[in-house]
Amino acid sequence: MAFSFFACEKETIIIPNNNAPNYDEIPTILLENYVNRLYIDLIGREPLDEEMNLDVQFLRDNNVTIESRDTLISKLQFDTTYVEGDISYKNAYFHRLYEMVKVRMIEGASNAYIENEMGIFLFFYEVDSLAGNLIGAHNNLINYYRLKDIIDSESLFYNNFIDIKEMHRRMLNNAIYDQINMNTFNFVNAAFDNLLFRYPTQNEFNCSYSMIEDEIPQIVLGFSGSNKDDLINIICNSREFYEGIIHWSYLTLLARVPSTIETDYLMNDFYITCDFHKLQRYIMKTDEYAHF
């Protein structure tokens, strides 16, 4: 009996124009553009000539690897070495981040404006206290401290006492945000739009409105609350809030929205750690951001 054996030879499939990038051959002008963009996006200014030369050479010496880009970005986020005009890269980075969140939430209100509003609330607190209007005095004092919470958030975030979620919560829960989005109707719509990048459904709006106006227990985004503070906490602790931060990061850094796959991938870590700095590094070390 004769047996025949046949071997199947695997076919090699070649995908055209899919070569691994050779980062050694990246033109210097592209590296300079990348470094320049990092400085502007992270600390709000262009690099000095010395900084540019050092950082471009650092990338070149390390073959412009993803790891070397991560190291450079981390330096701009966390290096505390004294830098004239900035105090340090870390100081400049956290100040810019604070200003960016203020632009997103309260139209970029300056600290001077916030402090002026604080002074007004403190004045009326004293007036109401002397007049025996304890409820009015209490409300004015609450408004004072909520504005103070905004200003304090910069140093607290810098020192890792709060995260990006708490900073946004403070930007949402204050008299300036209420002035911009007057009345409950506008507040509910603005809170969803600013943080979740969508307007509430009719049911979400009705429940949110009732939660604020009537202080009746309602369920929004899967959680129960019975007042405005509860609603703010529900929104800022929702899964959609984290997705909104990813969405915002892509828009500010890449001028596009993330794909569903990108969002799902990043949510695996970000939803657990709330590490906004790591999220930024992930985006900023990509070839897409660098234009390589």
Q: What are the DSSP calls for 72-135, one per residue? A: HHHHHHH--S-BTTTB-HHHHHHHHHHHHHHHHHHTT--HHHHHHHHHHHHHHHHHHHHHT-HH
Residue at 62 is within a domain: yes
Q: How confident is the model at residue 3, as a pLDDT?
A: 47
Give Cβ neighbours of residue 43 (< 8 Å, ≥ 6 apart). Answer: 76, 86, 89, 92, 93, 96
For 247, the domain range is 240-290
Residue at 140 is within a domain: no
Chosen domain end from 14, 48, 78:
78
Nearest Cα residue to 263 out of 277, 286, 285, 282: 282
How big is the chain, counted in residues? 292
Residue at 9 is within a domain: no
> What does the DSSP 8-state code read for residue 197?
S
227 and 211 Cβ atoms separated by less than 8 Å = yes
Inter-CA distances, 101 with 60, 233, 238, Å: 34, 17, 18
Chosen domain end from 36, 61, 78:
78
Residue at 74 is within a domain: yes
Q: How confident is the model at residue 18, as a pLDDT?
A: 46
The pLDDT confidence band at residue 20, using thresholds 50, 70 and 90, is low
Distance CA(202)–CA(204), nearest Å, equals: 5
Token pair recorded at residue 6: 């046949």
Residue at 47 is within a domain: yes
Residue found by looking up tokens 């900035």 in the block:
86
Residue at 216 is within a domain: no
Distance CA(90)–CA(43), nearest Å, equals: 8
Entry pTM: 0.90
Helix pair angle (239-254, 164-172), 10° resolution: 100
Residue at 56 is within a domain: yes
Q: How confident is the model at residue 267, as a pLDDT?
A: 98
- 22-81 residue pLDDT tens: 787 899 999 999 999 999 999 999 999 999 999 999 999 999 999 999 999 999 999 999
Q: How confident is the model at residue 14, as a pLDDT?
A: 47
Distance CA(178)–CA(172), nearest Å, equals: 8
Q: What is the mean pLDDT of residues 75-99?
A: 97
**What does residue 130 show for φ and ψ, rounded to 5 degrees?**
-65, -30
Residue 106, CA atoms < 13 Å, CB-side half-sphere: 25
The number of distinct structural domains making up the chain is 2
Q: How confident is the model at residue 6, as a pLDDT?
A: 46
The pLDDT confidence band at residue 19, using thresholds 50, 70 and 90, is low
Q: 17 in the Ramachandran plot: left (φ > 0), alpha (ψ -120 to 50) or beta? A: left
SS3 220: strand
Inter-CA distances, 266 with 222, 236, 269, 270, 275, Å: 22, 18, 6, 6, 11
Q: How confident is the model at residue 23, as a pLDDT?
A: 82
Nearest Cα residue to 277 out of 80, 38, 94: 94
Q: How confident is the model at residue 11, as a pLDDT?
A: 55
Report helix, strand and coil shares of the chain as percent, to nearest 5. Answer: 70, 5, 30
Residue type, 9: E
Residue at 269 is within a domain: yes
- 208-253 residue pLDDT tens: 999 999 999 999 999 999 999 999 999 999 999 999 999 999 999 9
